[in-house]
Amino acid sequence: MLLAFGWWSVLLLRKNEEAHVANVNELAYRMAVERRIEAPADFRETQRYRDLTSQFERQQAMIIGEAVFLVLSLAGGIYLLFRSLRQEISAAQQQRNFLLSITHELKSPLAGIRLVLETFQKRKELKPEIQQKLSTNALAETDRLTALVNDLLLSAKLENVYQINEEEVDLGSLIQDAADQVAMKYKTANIHVDIETDLRPVVGDRLGLTSVAVNLLENAAKYSQPNPVIHTSLQRGGARELIWEVSDNGIGIPDREKRRIWTKFYRVGSEDTRKTKGTGLGLYIVKRLVERHGGTLEVMDNEPKGTKFMIYLPTKGAD
- Domain holding 204, by residue range, is 167-314
Based on the domain organization, do 82 and 95 belong to the same domain?
no
Residue 22 sits in the same domain as residue 69: yes
User: Does residue 122 lie within any of the structural domains?
Assistant: yes
Provide the residue-wise pLDDT of the chain in tens; the chain has 319 residues. 767 777 777 888 888 888 888 887 887 777 777 777 766 677 777 888 788 888 888 888 888 888 888 878 888 888 899 888 888 887 777 677 666 667 777 788 888 899 889 888 888 788 888 889 889 889 888 988 888 888 888 888 887 778 888 899 999 999 999 999 999 888 899 999 999 988 989 999 998 999 999 999 999 998 898 899 999 999 998 778 999 999 999 988 888 888 888 887 777 665 444 556 667 788 999 999 999 999 999 999 998 889 999 999 998 754 4
Other beta carbons within 10 Å of 98: 18
CATH number of the structural domain spanning residue 219: 3.30.565.10
**Residues 6 or more apart from 250 whose CB is under 8 A from it?**
220, 223, 224, 225, 228, 305, 306, 307
Do 240 and 299 sit in the same domain of this protein?
Answer: yes
Pair (17, 30) in one structural domain: yes
Same domain? For 178 and 101 the reply is no
**Residue 319 located in a structural domain:** no
- Contacts of residue 252, defined as CB under 8 A and 6 or more positions apart, other chains included, come to 301, 302, 305, 306, 307
Is residue 187 one of the residues assigned to a domain? yes
What order do you get walking across the sheet with 296-301 strand by strand? Answer: 190-195, 229-238, 241-247, 307-314, 296-301
Residue 97, beta-bridge partner list = none
Between the alpha carbon of residue 167 and those of residues 161, 176, 209, 313, 317, the distances in Å are 19, 19, 11, 15, 14
* Domain containing residue 125: CATH number: 1.10.287.130
For the chain, the domain total comes to 3
End residue of a domain, out of 86, 119, 142:
86
Assess whether 254 and 189 both reside in one domain: yes
